């Protein structure tokens, strides 16, 4: 697999047979393009496929391409370096493609070429992989069990195991490349529909081929010359620099393979010299040969197929009836996170068992599929936000460009189908799909199962002498998190998480599942784009998808305004009652209601769950923190507790630290998802605090701030004693004691003594010292005076009053 450099991110959720099924998470919308990753999931990238398969170094410039991407590159302007060959061919046949590839790689790196694109015409790779172990009950010896997939080399379809009719389609796939791009003498024709429109970007693109000596793509020393019949070396491994616009001679003839070599015929097997000669024939080869990343292909194909498959049927005033362009350059700013892989690459990835923590995110689907196109933008955005590489595999081996109906058993390039088509036995190489599910995806959850009649049948290993087997049939797009485990074969619960709707039958308690197959018309979030696939006459066209969150939808939608008291709630600025009619047509109501109930709500759930899937991948996940910090009065030790919650069943470990008003307190261990702090008594006031968690492999780091309030406390008592009673001739003294609870600060401040007799009133004030105030009382007239003691309070204590002992003056 190509060594794509990316960061990563992750967490798990609802467990069912080792499978985490992403539940609905409202509001999990796509991250803005170019935004900093929210976290890094502990998912993996497979960087060793090319080293393991070809023996090239880690800094190789070779990159694999699928059939679809190879054909797209052949359509692009500029010069590209291509390598065609099958590493499964043995040296016993005098062919050593691995040695050839190593030589090409070394020559390209020495010449400064940034990329050599390798197309393996053996679409299965003829791969052998471990399926587990088997113990001989007699000897006790345990051996590794393996499976080798039959070759599906489109150059040699007669050598494949599929039926003769299917071999013709594989032959067409190879000759399509010859006829349109690489060789001479073959005419490749893309079928047209009933209206005469090319099917090239539809779900039913089909190519037929015929001999035609007038077709010339490679006029000078052609590598693939079919003009006089099938050449004897048509299946040789080749290396060439390609330029679709290059010509030679006068009048000019196409000479697209500007410089080329048949590696299998290199003199003395000096592949390096042959490769170097190819590159030296190109002026300024280091800068002339282009490198184009996967994003350019994704953007081009996704947008082209969307436009072709969903043509606008309304007026020119509604150009975005089915949504606007799906991908734009902003999707590549992080960079683009979805990388398409070939079948051999996928098998290599699924076999990685170095660590139990190796997780791979795999998306099944293709550019031909409208349901995949509906979510690809969100899948990429959420992967970027989580620093995850998503590996995409299209079960249609040609990407839906040659074989016809992509989802039908009539197309043998679709491996996700029945083995037999009608009366044609072994029509499809569904054994590739069957081995994926039976070996790697044993715990997969799908809408279709073996009991509802929609499943995939296959002959194990393509061996038609074996009984026909069956596995579940997934529908695309299909997104999973996969973990092989460290054993020889994958664990039975290798799918750890998947993106699928789960429902529970209330009568049986059993789970059922539904793949998220929606359309871009319902998932396009860009303001002004969305028309939900409707005509202007059917819908208030100024309302984009984001508006649905706050728009007051009611049922029935758009009722008769003459009979509905709240009819105005169903009108928008661009949707007004016509002057001649007071009611809205029933057909309009039905159309809108259907779109809302069956499409928009489901689409919004699908996009939300994409976010939930990625946010819950292995690794620290985001959490919510609930802080309890109740106000206390001075004298009571404050307590602060933080409860840590998340949607993914993660249990945090470690300690949380706390600072209050700049003072740090001992970190506390998280117990039962919470950490609690009991602080010393604090003076009355308002205190800012910060709770900090460094994070672990379950929960991401966080910092939570808040304010703790400590109100003034109450003194224990205010008591007075007349140490010297006043008389009408002499002043007196009242000693006032303001007592506080043990361990608390001594009260400070002032005390006022108020004496009253009838309308007469006297006051005296003194300052507390060590909790006692000596208050000098004035001379008093004869009679009995009431005494009121008033403590004014201080920074920590609230004011308090008490009644003192009355003073009786007799002389």
Task: Please report, for the domain that includes residue 664, its CATH number.
Answer: 2.60.40.10
Token readout for 290 is 């282009």
- CA–CA dist 311, 193 (Å, integer): 14
DSSP H helices in 366-417: 370-386
Reduced to 3 states (helix: H, G, I; strand: E, B; else coil), residue 384 is helix
What's phi and psi for 504, nearest 5 deg? -115, 125
- DSSP tag of 779: P
Token readout for 161 is 């195991």
> What is the per-residue pLDDT for 545?
54
Characterize the bridge pairing of strands 14-16 and 19-21. Answer: antiparallel
Among 616, 610, 658, residue whose Cα is nearest residue 638: 658
Tell whether 580 is covered by a domain. yes
Final residue of a structural domain among 687, 711, 735: 711
* Residue 649 preceded by cis peptide, ω within 30: no
**Percent residues over pLDDT 90 in the chain:** 70
Final residue of a structural domain among 685, 711, 737: 711
Pair (701, 745) in one structural domain: no
Tokens 């208030």 appear where? 540
> What is the per-residue pLDDT for 682?
97
Pair (697, 723) in one structural domain: no
The CATH number given to whatever domain includes residue 748 is 2.60.40.1940
Radius of gyration in angstroms for the set of CA atoms belonging to the chain, rounded to a whole number = 39
Contact 45, 4 (CB under 8 A): yes
Counting Cα atoms < 13 Å in the Cβ hemisphere of 77 gives 0
Does the pTM of the predicted model rise above 0.75? Answer: yes
> What is the per-residue pLDDT for 539?
58
Expressed as residue numbers, the domain containing 769 is 717-809
3-class SS letters over 107-141:
HHHHHCCCCEEEECCECCCCCEEEEEEEECCCCCC
Pair (787, 727) in one structural domain: yes
Pair (628, 707) in one structural domain: yes
Residue 576 CB burial class (10 angstroms; 0-12, 13-18, ≥19): exposed
Pair (596, 535) in one structural domain: yes
Which of the four pLDDT bands, split at 50, 70 and 90, describes residue 20? very low
On the question of pLDDT at 629 being above 70, the answer is yes
- DSSP tag of 446: -
Tell whether 204 is covered by a domain. no
User: What is the separation, in whole angstroms, between the first and last Cα of the chain?
Assistant: 112
Q: What is the pLDDT of residues 21-41, one digit of tens each?
A: 332 222 223 333 344 567 888
Tokens 């009836």 appear where? 321
> What is the per-residue pLDDT for 550?
53
Tell whether 488 is covered by a domain. no
Which of the four pLDDT bands, split at 50, 70 and 90, describes residue 643? very high
> What is the per-residue pLDDT for 559?
39
Residue 565 CB burial class (10 angstroms; 0-12, 13-18, ≥19): exposed
Tell whether 287 is covered by a domain. no
| pLDDT (average), residues 322-345 | 95
Pair (665, 688) in one structural domain: yes
Q: What is the DSSP string of 296-331?
A: HHHHHHHHHHHHHHS---S-TT-TTTT-S-S--GGG
Tell whether 173 is covered by a domain. no
Contact 692, 660 (CB under 8 A): no
The domain total for the chain is 3
Q: What is the pLDDT of residues 467-520, one digit of tens each?
A: 999 999 999 999 999 999 999 999 999 999 999 998 888 888 888 899 999 999
Q: What is the pLDDT of residues 272-293, one digit of tens each?
A: 999 999 999 999 999 999 999 9
Pair (745, 789) in one structural domain: yes
Which residues of 317-468 form beta strands (DSSP E)?
338-340, 360-364, 390-393, 455-458
- DSSP tag of 252: T
Tell whether 556 is covered by a domain. yes
Torsion angle defined by CA atoms of residues 98, 100, 102 and 105, in that order, rounded to the nearest 10 degrees: -130
Tell whether 272 is covered by a domain. no
- The 10 Å Cβ neighbour count of residue 478 is 23
Final residue of a structural domain among 612, 635, 660: 612
Pair (639, 582) in one structural domain: no
Higher pLDDT, 810 or 314: 810
Q: What is the pLDDT of residues 539-553, one digit of tens each?
A: 555 555 555 555 444
Instruction: Summarize the chain as % helix, strand, coil (round to 5).
Output: 20, 30, 50
Pair (662, 734) in one structural domain: no
Length of the chain measured in residues: 811
Pair (780, 733) in one structural domain: yes
> What is the per-residue pLDDT for 8?
28
| pLDDT (average), residues 665-692 | 98
Tell whether 704 is covered by a domain. yes
Mutual angle of helices 67-74 and 164-177, in 10-degree steps: 30
Among 71, 18, 74, residue whose Cα is nearest residue 494: 18
Q: What is the pLDDT of residues 75-123, one digit of tens each?
A: 999 999 999 999 987 665 678 999 999 999 999 999 999 999 999 999 9
What's phi and psi for 386, nearest 5 deg? -100, 5
Residues 6+ apart with CB under 8 A from 232: none
Token readout for 694 is 């460094």
For residue 154, CA distances in Å to 181, 231, 414 come to 16, 15, 14
Pair (736, 802) in one structural domain: yes
Contact 760, 781 (CB under 8 A): yes
Which residues of 171-322 form beta strands (DSSP E)?
183-190, 207-216, 224-225, 238-243, 247-248, 253-254, 257-262
Pair (754, 738) in one structural domain: yes
> What is the per-residue pLDDT for 183?
98
> What is the per-residue pLDDT for 331?
97
């Amino acid at each position: 697999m190509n060594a794509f450099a990316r960061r990563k991110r992750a967490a798990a959720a609802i467990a069912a047979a080792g499978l985490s099924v992403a539940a609905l998470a409202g509001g999990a919308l796509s991250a803005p393009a170019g935004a900093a990753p929210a976290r890094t999931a502990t998912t993996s990238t497979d960087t060793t496929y090319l080293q393991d398969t070809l023996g090239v170094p880690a800094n190789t410039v070779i990159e694999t391409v699928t059939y679809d991407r190879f054909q797209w590159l052949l359509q692009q302007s500029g010069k590209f370096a291509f390598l065609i060959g099958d590493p499964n061919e043995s040296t016993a046949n005098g062919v050593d493609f691995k040695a050839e590839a190593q030589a090409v790689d070394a020559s390209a790196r020495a010449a400064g070429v940034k990329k050599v694109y390798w197309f393996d015409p053996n679409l299965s790779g003829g791969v052998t992989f471990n399926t587990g172990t088997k113990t001989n009950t007699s000897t006790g010896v345990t051996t590794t069990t393996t499976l080798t997939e039959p070759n599906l080399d489109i150059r040699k379809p007669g050598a494949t195991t599929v039926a003769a009719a299917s071999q013709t389609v594989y032959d067409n796939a190879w000759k399509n490349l010859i006829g349109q791009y690489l060789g001479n003498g073959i005419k490749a024709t893309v079928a047209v529909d009933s209206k005469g429109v090319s099917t090239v970007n539809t779900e039913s693109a089909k190519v037929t081929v015929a001999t035609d000596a007038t077709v010339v793509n490679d006029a000078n020393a052609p590598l693939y010359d079919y003009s006089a019949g099938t050449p004897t070396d048509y299946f040789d491994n080749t290396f060439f620099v390609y330029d679709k616009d290059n010509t030679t001679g006068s009048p000019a003839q196409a000479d697209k393979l500007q410089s080329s070599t048949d590696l299998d015929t290199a003199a003395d097997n000096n592949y390096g010299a042959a490769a170097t000669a190819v590159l030296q024939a190109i002026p300024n080869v280091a800068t002339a040969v282009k490198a184009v990343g996967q994003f350019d292909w994704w953007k081009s194909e996704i947008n082209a197929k969307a436009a072709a498959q969903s043509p606008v049927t309304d007026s020119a005033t509604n150009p975005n009836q089915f949504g606007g362009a799906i991908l734009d350059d902003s999707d590549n700013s992080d960079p683009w996170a979805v990388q398409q892989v070939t079948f051999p690459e996928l098998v290599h990835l699924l076999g990685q068992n170095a660590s139990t923590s190796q997780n791979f995110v795999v998306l099944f689907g293709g550019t031909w599929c409208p349901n995949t196109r509906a979510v690809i933008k969100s899948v990429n955005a959420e992967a970027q936000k989580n620093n995850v590489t998503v590996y995409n595999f299209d079960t249609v081996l040609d990407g839906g460009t040659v074989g016809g109906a992509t989802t039908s058993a009539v197309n043998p390039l679709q491996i996700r189908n029945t083995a037999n088509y009608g009366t044609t036995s072994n029509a499809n190489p569904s054994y590739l799909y069957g081995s994926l599910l039976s070996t790697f995806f044993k715990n997969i959850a799908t809408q279709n199962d073996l009991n509802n009649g929609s499943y995939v049948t296959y002959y194990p290993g393509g061996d038609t002498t074996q009984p026909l087997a069956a596995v579940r049939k997934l529908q695309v797009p299909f997104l999973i998190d996969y973990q092989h485990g460290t054993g020889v074969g994958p664990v039975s619960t290798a799918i750890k998480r998947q993106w699928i709707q789960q429902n529970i039958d209330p009568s049986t308690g059993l789970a059922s599942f539904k793949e998220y197959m929606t359309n871009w018309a319902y998932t396009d979030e860009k303001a002004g784009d969305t028309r939900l696939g409707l005509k202007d006459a059917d819908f208030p066209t100024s309302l984009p998808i984001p508006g649905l969150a706050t728009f007051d939808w009611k049922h029935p939608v758009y009722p008769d305004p003459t009979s509905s008291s709240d009819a105005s709630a169903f009108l928008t600025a661009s949707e007004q009652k016509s002057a001649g009619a007071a009611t809205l047509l029933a057909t309009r109501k039905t159309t809108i209601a259907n779109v809302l109930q069956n499409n928009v709500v489901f689409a919004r759930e699908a996009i939300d769950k994409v976010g939930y899937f990625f946010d819950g991948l292995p690794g620290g996940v985001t959490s919510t923190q609930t802080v309890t910090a109740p106000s206390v009065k001075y004298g009571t030790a404050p307590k602060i507790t933080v409860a840590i919650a998340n949607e993914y069943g993660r249990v945090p470990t470690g300690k949380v630290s706390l600072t209050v008003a700049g003072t740090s307190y001992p970190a506390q261990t998280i117990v039962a998802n919470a950490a609690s702090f009991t602080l010393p008594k604090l003076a009355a006031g308002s205190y800012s605090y910060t709770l900090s968690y460094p994070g672990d492999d379950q929960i991401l780091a966080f910092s939570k701030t808040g304010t703790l309030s400590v109100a003034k406390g109450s003194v224990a008592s205010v008591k007075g004693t007349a140490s010297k009673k006043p008389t009408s001739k002499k002043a007196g003294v009242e000693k006032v004691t303001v007592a506080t609870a043990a361990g608390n600060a001594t009260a400070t401040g002032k005390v006022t003594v108020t004496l009253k007799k009838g309308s007469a009133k006297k006051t005296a004030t003194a300052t507390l010292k060590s909790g006692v105030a000596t208050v000098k009382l004035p001379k008093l007239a004869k009679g009995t005076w009431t005494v009121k003691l008033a403590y004014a309070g201080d920074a920590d204590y609230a004011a308090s009053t008490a009644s003192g002992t009355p003073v009786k003056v007799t002389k």
